[in-house]
Amino acid sequence: MRILILGADGYLGWPTCLYFSQRGDEVIGVDNYFRRNAAVELDCESLIPAPDLFQRAEIWEDISDKKIKVHAGDITDYEFLLSIFREYNPDAVVHYAEQPSAPYSMINRDKAAFTLQNNLISTLNIIYAVKEVNPDCHIIKLGTMGEYGTPNIDIEEGWLDIEHKGRKDKFLFPRQAGSLYHTTKIQDTDMLWFYVRTWGIRVTDLMQGPVYGLSTEEADMDPQLMPSFHYDEIFGTVLNRFIVQAVAGYPLTVYGKGNQTRGFLNLKDTMQCVYLSAMQPAEQGQLRVFNQLTESFSVNQLAEKVKAIGDKMGYNVKIDHIENPRVEKEDHYYNVHYTGLAELGLEPHYLTDQVLEKFFEITSKYKDRINKDAFFKGIKWK
Ligand code: USQ
């Protein structure tokens, strides 16, 4: 398969390039280095020093004898994206090239406008490039579980059957996001659904929960192949933050009551989910939605797990409850249905004590690089 990975420099993008390449697919990776630049601007750089895409591709080629073609460029520039599609004519495109942070989108008007512009125009450009170059190309879009919010009913896998005044129909499951970033993902879904209905394109929308971890089969071959890894308030997801906080001797930053519950997955499972979706594509004229998570935890449960393993390893972990900077429900119902990816063949890597121990071991090697000022800057939702 010839696969185009947009956002190839990121936490998920780079390991995805390696995963497909290792399995014999032809990989083209594109990135505009937005996150690298934003991390410098906001003083919250990756824990692990990540060579740039060109250097990484060379390191990978030396190790594996496999080539990943890389391009630096901005896919909101339609001519640039079109030139990539024309040059490679991919069978599938994976869209990670979005501004991925809820706190970033809430910093100020400019960051909000950037998030809207980047996320919506990049998605629109992909749709147009697919139509213009190869309408059969499968779009794999990273959505988020945060599109659904925390409704007081079960969360179905993308769609909801509704009976109203004696008539029945099927709709996208109701969406109600908790940040402007999450809102752009809803808008993406709506836009993709419109073009699926209108142009008959094929789309898989992966509603992903927060991802944790560092280790993948390929990244474990050489530390220089590890993903960029953020533990700061802006780009770090909650469990990744807690591990690095524990290693640094910084009290774990549980926001508010800590009963907020989300669906999580191991980085290794993100790779599997995207790969399985690519190998078993959506039909033409289908918007296929999968809920991409393997287990649910509250923030308190995660903090307790990190403390238990951290203490066992001699870290003396403290847990702090700080005023919640976000506007979100701290007590809520959460029951998500997710069978689609398992049916495609997903074999989950659960959050075991061994996984946590290994996570501690890897991050502790980079202890000297931890910037404690990045743990909490206090970006408030209002
Ligand atoms: N939280 C804390 N303490 C922290 C950080 C977060 O209590 O130090 C809480 C948050 O308030 C929230 C939960 O942990 O209730 C999850 O926060 P998060 O920062 O791990 O995740 P989120 O901002 O929702 O975004 C992340 C990714 C995003 C992805 C999303 C999936 O950055 O790209 O879309 O996870 S989901 O959360 O299901 O919407």
Going by C-alpha positions, the residue among 382, 276, 242 that lies closest to residue 323 is 382
Indicate the pairing of strand 287-292 with strand 202-208: parallel
Q: At what angle do helices 299-312 and 238-248 cross, to 10 degrees?
A: 30
Pocket test residue of 255, 273, 305 for ligand 1, highest count of atoms within 8 A of CB: 255
Instruction: Give pLDDT, residue 332.
Output: 98
What confidence tens digit (pLDDT) does each residue in 221-278 have? 999 999 999 999 999 999 999 999 999 999 999 999 999 999 999 999 999 999 999 9
The CA 238 to ligand 1 mean position distance, Å, reads: 6
Active site residue 11: no
Across the range 169-182, mean pLDDT stands at 98
Instruction: Give pLDDT, residue 148.
Output: 98
What confidence tens digit (pLDDT) does each residue in 109-126 have? 999 999 999 999 999 999
Judged by DSSP in three states, 32 sits in coil
- The protein residue whose alpha carbon is closest to atom 38 in ligand 1 is 209
Instruction: Give pLDDT, residue 310.
Output: 98
- Which tokens is 125 given? 């450009």
Domain 2-374 has CATH 3.40.50.170: no
Instruction: Give pLDDT, residue 105.
Output: 98
Q: Rounded to whole angstroms, how far apart are CA atoms 284 and 316? A: 54
Judged by DSSP in three states, 163 sits in strand
Task: Find the helix or strand (DSSP H, E) in which 298 lies.
Answer: strand 295-298
CA distance readout (Å), 243 to 145, 220, 277: 22, 19, 30
Report whether residue 265 contacts ligand 1, using a CB cutoff of 6 Å: no
Q: pLDDT exceeding 90 applies to what percent of the chain? A: 100
| Buried b or exposed e, range 120-155, using 16+ CB within 10 angstroms | bebbbbbbbbbeebeeebbbbbbbbbbbbbbbeeeb
Kindly report the number of other CB atoms within 10 A of residue 170's CB atom.
8
Taking the CA of residue 206 as centre, how many other CA atoms within 13 Å lie in the half-sphere pointing to its CB?
27
Report whether residue 10 contacts ligand 1, using a CB cutoff of 6 Å: no
What confidence tens digit (pLDDT) does each residue in 32-89 have? 999 999 999 999 999 999 899 999 999 999 999 999 999 999 999 999 999 999 999 9
Instruction: Give pLDDT, residue 216.
Output: 96
Instruction: Give pLDDT, residue 323.
Output: 97
| Contact status, residue 78 vs residue 123, Cβ threshold 8 Å | no
The CA 302 to ligand 1 mean position distance, Å, reads: 12
Going by C-alpha positions, the residue among 315, 231, 228, 308 that lies closest to residue 31 is 228
What confidence tens digit (pLDDT) does each residue in 135-148 have? 999 999 999 999 99
Active site residue 185: yes
Task: Find the helix or strand (DSSP H, E) in which 58 lies.
Answer: helix 53-64
Instruction: Give pLDDT, residue 350.
Output: 98
Instruction: Give pLDDT, residue 302.
Output: 98
The CA 164 to ligand 1 mean position distance, Å, reads: 34
Q: Rounded to whole angstroms, how far apart are CA atoms 25 and 29? A: 12
Alpha carbon 236 to its chain centroid, in Å, reads 11
Domain boundaries, the chain: 2-374
Q: Rounded to whole angstroms, how far apart are CA atoms 381 and 179? A: 8
Among candidate residues 16, 76, 123, 144, the one labeled active-site is: 144
| Buried b or exposed e, range 72-91, using 16+ CB within 10 angstroms | ebbbbebebbbebbeebebb
Instruction: Give pLDDT, residue 346.
Output: 98
Taken as a whole, the chain contains a residue count of 382
| Percent of the chain that is helix, strand, coil (3-state, to 5) | 40, 20, 40
Ligand 1 atom showing the smallest separation from residue 237 Cα: 20
Among candidate residues 19, 96, 181, 315, the one labeled active-site is: 181
CA distance readout (Å), 364 to 13, 45, 112: 24, 16, 34
What confidence tens digit (pLDDT) does each residue in 209-224 have? 999 999 999 999 999 9
Instruction: Give pLDDT, residue 297.
Output: 98
The CA 237 to ligand 1 mean position distance, Å, reads: 5
- Which tokens is 272 given? 């599997």
Report whether residue 184 contacts ligand 1, using a CB cutoff of 6 Å: no
Instruction: Give pLDDT, residue 316.
Output: 96
Instruction: Give pLDDT, residue 227.
Output: 96
- Average pLDDT, rounded, for the chain: 98
